[in-house]
Structure 1
Amino acid sequence: MNVTPVTPPRPIDVAAVFPQLAPLARTATRLHPRPGAPTWHDSSIGGPLLWPAEEPWPHCEEPHVVDGINPAQSPADLRLERRIFAASHGRDLTPEERETLERIRPPRTYPVRLAVQAYDGPIAMLPVAQLYVRDVPDLSPPEGKDLLQVLWCPFDHPIMPRTLLFWRSAAAVTDVLDTPPEPPAVQFDGYLPEPCVLEPEQITEYPDHLELSEELREQLKQWSVPQAAEEDMDPDTYYDCVLSNAPGWKVGGWPAWNSTDPSSQPCSECGTGMEILMTVATFEEGDDAGNSWSPHPHPGAGPYPGHRGYNATGVQIGSGYRQHLFVCLAEPEHPHIELMT
């Protein structure tokens, strides 16, 4: 039986200790991706999209060039590589498997050739997420829409995939595109999401410490010293890692600012402030010593050996970061922005 994981309660009700945080509380929906076989009618990561047959599939028109040191791979080869790793877990590779893996990724020869791969013409985009409002309470769709679809180009633009968002009414899709086009290549393995079903769970979050006043930050730091000592953690990071916002794939809530400082993000069309819509994550677990955000029951290993932490989607942003998608508060269909943190 598939039991919905539950995020453990926070070890401390931080808003009770610091009432200044209470008005800043936001709900977020953790998506909890799990390996599965989603259909058009399911909320999913990397699954098939309920895409109208008469509507053109999105393509990226920008240039696509990669270096010869880390050549791009076809989606078919990446899926085959994953199946081989999964099937051989706990045993030695067969000669046939080794031969196939060497064909997909030939051994590097030296000196390394710096030739580049250039892909001419539009590149078909890949499904990243399909989210039905019925499953994800923190989605705020435009009027008359109940489905969000996220796609991306599987190449860096310039340091992460470029995304597209589509809001639609599921009931209006009567003829579904059953075989969408695929790109000829994917720049990095982590840009090809593994199909996952979702087990959404709504939680409460608080802002990253960088979004708080200096006075409150200092109070939190001093208060965190004994709390962090009990967990053998750095008091400077205890609040962010354990009490503020959850790691992993989620909708809504607060963004994490691990590699950049917060900055105001006005809409390019109307100037209205933007707010986080969704987080595309490399890892589902956090950085705290006990992985206190890990859901129970713990879901176990990823789709194939080699991932650090739990990563059913196979997605990797940079060297282990998050991609935050921000949308206009006044009009969700205005152009969105992407930030890596």
Structure 2
Amino acid sequence: MTRTTPPRPYDLLDLFPGLAGYGRPAVRLHPRRGEPAAEDGSIGGPLLWPAEEPWPVCGLEHEDCADEPFAYTLAWRAYLEDRDRREREGDLDWDVERRRADELEARFDSEEDGEGDATAPPLIPLAQLYYRDVPGLPWPERYDLLQLLWCPRDHPDAETPYNPVFQVRWRSSRSVGAVLDDPPRPLVCNGDYVPSPCVLHPEVVTEYPPNEDLPGALADAIGEWTERIGDPAAYDCAISAAPGWKAVGYGGIWGVVDPYPVECDCGERQLPLFTAASGEFDGGTGTWRPVEDAEAGREAADPVKVVIGRGYTLQLYYCPASEDHPNRTAMF
């Protein structure tokens, strides 16, 4: 099923024609719960991973205060989904549910959680993007598949501390050969960083730079306009950047830290590659809710079940000079 972003509530190009030159395509991925295969684009689904290629691990230090057994995270997520189904069907007894939940927690409390394992933990699949579905990904003359993995734990010494850490793989799917069917899983994780498997419904939209990146006169004019209409968030929340999981484009609304240019060590300004979000939209970005989900329940707002910080966004950048240059991250 396609997903369609409603028209923007304000026609800023009519008010500010100069803004048109700063438009940039972004791809809203619109992940929705499903059972993707390795041949599909996905969030949290299986990867088209060569059987002979070692599975990546994380060698960084981890903060363990929010860690829990990875198997418990999956089991608890499955229990909640089954409980929601029973609730929709009118077959729910809360006394029984409390007992089921207590039994599940007790079972994992009694099991070894692997916290004493000193080996580097394997990463988990985060996203698989086929170029046929997601236009605008870099180096299409060499690659047709982008794979993203991350370590689902907090990393106090990472560039964006106390967040998961990405690893990137650029591939030509034709060269993969035999596919790894059963990749290793970590013993423990922060459950907020484990994505539920989702299929994608990509949609290209136009984004515009954050106000602070626009030329002074244009930025001032847009700022004066938001004051005049009494909606100071009109540009940031309804025009410039789409919320949710997406690829390329401009990114997010700076708020956690002051804006800064994301630059590579080579001096090149890095560009947004992928955005992991705490939900698809919220009360402040409801105008981006797809037309097809107008009557949907809460599952449409948060299908992936990933939470970044206190509901933030984690963005991955790439250097346009070379895919071999280190990727950087920022949290909004």
Q: Trace 1:181-192 onto structure 2 (pairs within 5 A).
A: 181-187=184-190, 189-192=191-194
Which of 35, 48, 53 pairs up with 1:37?
Answer: 35
Q: Deviations over 1:111-150 (max 9, x none)?
A: xxxxxx5651201001000000000012123642110000
Q: Secondary structure at the match of 1:318?
A: coil
Matched, 1:332 2:327: no
Query: Equivalent residue for 2:288?
Result: 293
- Who is 2:223 aligned against? 221
CA deviations over 1:261-294 (Å, ceiling 9, x no partner):
22122212x32221111111112114537x1000
- TM (normalized to structure 1)? 0.86
What is the number of equivalent residue pairs in this alignment? 312
Cα distance in 1, alignment partners of residues 133 and 140 from structure 2: 16
Q: 1:142 to 1:273 in 2, by over 3 A?
A: farther
User: What is residue 75 of structure 2 aligned with on the other side?
Assistant: 80
Greater shift, 196-205 or 156-165, is seen at: 156-165
SS of structure 1 residue aligned to 2:287: coil
SS at the partner of 2:7? coil
Q: Distance in 2 between matches of 1:258 and 1:24?
A: 21
Identity, % of aligned positions:
40
Give the secondary structure class of the aligned counterpart of 2:132. Answer: coil
Does structure 2 conserve the Cα–Cα contact (< 8 Å) formed by 1:47 and 1:127? yes
Q: Distance in 2 between matches of 1:315 and 1:58?
A: 21
**Secondary structure of the residue that 1:151 maps to in structure 2?**
strand
User: Offset of 1:321 from its aligned partner?
Assistant: 0.5
Q: Distance in 2 between matches of 1:95 and 1:14?
A: 51
Letter in 1 for 2:246: K
* Aligned equivalent of 1:315, options 290, 306, 314: 306
Alignment of 1:42-191 (within 5 A): 42-67=40-65, 70=66, 72-89=67-84, 90=87, 91=92, 92=94, 93-94=96-97, 96-103=99-106, 119-141=117-139, 143-158=141-156, 159-187=162-190, 189-191=191-193
Pair 1:260 & 2:257 matched: yes
Distance 1:154 1:65 in 2: 11
Match of residue 247, structure 2, among 213, 236, 251 = 251
| Residues 326 and 105 of structure 1: CA distance in aligned 2, closer, same or farther (over 3 Å) | same
AA aligned to 2:227 is: V
Q: 1: CA distance between counterparts of 2:107 and 2:247?
A: 35
Q: Are residue 279 (structure 1) and residue 270 (structure 2) matched?
A: no
| Equivalent residue for 1:7, pick from 5, 8, 13 | 5
Deviations 1:221-273 (A, max 9, x none): 22123544xxxxxx3222101111100011111122122222122212x3222
**Partners of 1:104 and 1:202 in 2: CA distance:** 45
Equivalent position to 1:27, from 25, 28, 49:
25
> Is the CA contact (8 Å cut-off) linking 2:280 and 2:302 kept in structure 1?
yes
Cα distance in 2, alignment partners of residues 79 and 262 from structure 1 = 36
Displacement of 1:216 after TM fit? Answer: 2.6
Contact 2:63/2:155 (<8 A) preserved: no
Could you tell me whether the CA contact under 8 Å between 1:65 and 1:119 is conserved in 2? no
1:63-97: CA deviations, max 9, x gaps?
23413xx4x22222111111211222222244651
- Alpha-carbon distance in structure 2 between the residues aligned to 1:287 and 1:218: 26
* Matched letter for residue 265 of structure 1: V
Output the CA distance in 1 between the equivalents of 2:311 and 2:303. Answer: 14
Find runs of 4+ consecutive structure 1 residues off by over 6 angstroms.
none
Measure, in 2, the Cα distance between the counterparts of 1:329 and 1:287: 35
Taking a change above 3 Å as real, the CA distance of residues 298 and 166 of structure 1, as seen in their structure-2 partners, is: same
**Cα distance in structure 2, aligned partners of 1:171 and 1:137:** 19
Q: 1:200 aligns to what?
A: 202
Tell me the alpha carbon deviations over residues 17-58 of structure 1, each in whole angstroms, 9 at most, x when there is no partner: 112211110000000000000000000000000000000000
Measured on the aligned residues, the alpha-carbon RMSD in Å equals 2.0
